[in-house]
């Protein structure tokens, strides 16, 4: 009988469009301890026949609000989804959706003030609700130069992304920096930064180097459960990395 973890060790994989999240998730998916959860992009592309992602890119002023509302809902579903493995790696999160993507749409005039307030109030309710456990243990940030991200976007040539300009990636990059390091928004967990500008071979070495931090923490699950009341998550992560 498999164990169901309603509260696995939860890791967010964050970064700009084209930062290499898929490559990292593919690497960690080979470990038995890890459940990898990708962004629910398929749902965004087909909500009863409606491609909200494509609509948002084509006409952001008209479609940003319904798209981000659905993103918030589907990312919430990802966060609370139980798993049969002790570690859960999530591609992006309800946090980066609010602090990076929603914030950028508002600052660039694609979301009205009232729309921004509605999304913000929903986000605050969800992340502060005692009935929901959205606790995060670790954030892995794939830091990428906007120019490198654009190069990768053009190489993979996904339909909805063909018109993404460098300016948009620069805006998102700055918002990730402001969120994770600028003390402008809530950071729900300790952050590990990986230089994601490197080639695939170098990135593989980076993943191997950081695997003991992510996997080691979960392998000490029993000790973590016993000491959570008296130890911070950062202390646990540090101990696991030794």
- Rounded to an integer, the average pLDDT of 233-240 is 44
Q: What domains are defined for the chain?
A: 9-241 (3.40.50.300)
- Over residues 20-72, the pLDDT tens digits come to 998 899 999 999 989 999 999 999 999 999 999 999 999 999 999 999 999 99
Confidence (pLDDT) at 69: 98
Res 221 pLDDT > 80: no
Q: Could you say which of 14, 38, 77, 91 is catalytic? A: 91
Confidence (pLDDT) at 222: 40
- Over residues 163-210, the pLDDT tens digits come to 899 999 999 999 999 999 999 999 999 999 999 999 888 988 888 888
Q: What is the Cα 145 distance to its own chain's centre?
A: 18
- Across 38-52, 134-148, 207-221, least confident range: 207-221
The confidence band for 93, taking pLDDT boundaries of 50, 70 and 90, is very high
Q: Which residue has the higher pLDDT, 3 or 115?
A: 115
Confidence (pLDDT) at 242: 39
Let me know if 208 is a catalytic residue: no
Confidence (pLDDT) at 1: 63
């Amino acid at each position: 009988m498999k164990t169901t973890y309603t509260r696995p060790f939860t890791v967010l994989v964050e970064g700009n469009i084209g930062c290499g999240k898929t490559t990292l998730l593919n690497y960690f998916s080979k470990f038995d301890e890890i459940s990898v959860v990708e962004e629910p992009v398929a749902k965004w592309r087909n909500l009863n026949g409606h491609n909200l992602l494509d609509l948002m890119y084509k006409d952001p002023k008209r479609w940003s609000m319904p798209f981000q509302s659905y993103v918030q809902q589907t990312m919430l579903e990802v966060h609370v989804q139980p798993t049969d493995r002790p570690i859960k790696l999530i591609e992006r999160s309800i946090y980066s959706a609010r602090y990076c993507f929603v914030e950028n749409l508002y600052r660039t005039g694609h979301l009205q003030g009232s729309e921004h307030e509605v999304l913000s109030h929903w986000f605050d309710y969800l992340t502060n609700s005692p009935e929901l456990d959205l606790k995060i243990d670790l954030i892995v940030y794939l830091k990428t130069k906007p120019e490198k991200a654009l190069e990768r976007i053009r190489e993979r040539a996904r339909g909805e992304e063909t018109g993404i300009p460098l300016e948009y990636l620069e805006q998102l990059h700055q918002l990730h920096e402001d969120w994770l390091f600028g003390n402008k928004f809530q950071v729900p967990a300790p952050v590990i930064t990986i230089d994601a500008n490197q080639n695939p071979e170098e990135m593989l070495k980076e993943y191997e180097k950081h695997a003991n931090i992510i996997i080691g923490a979960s392998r000490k699950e029993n000790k973590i459960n016993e000491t959570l009341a008296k130890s911070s998550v950062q202390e646990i992560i540090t101990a696991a990395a030794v």
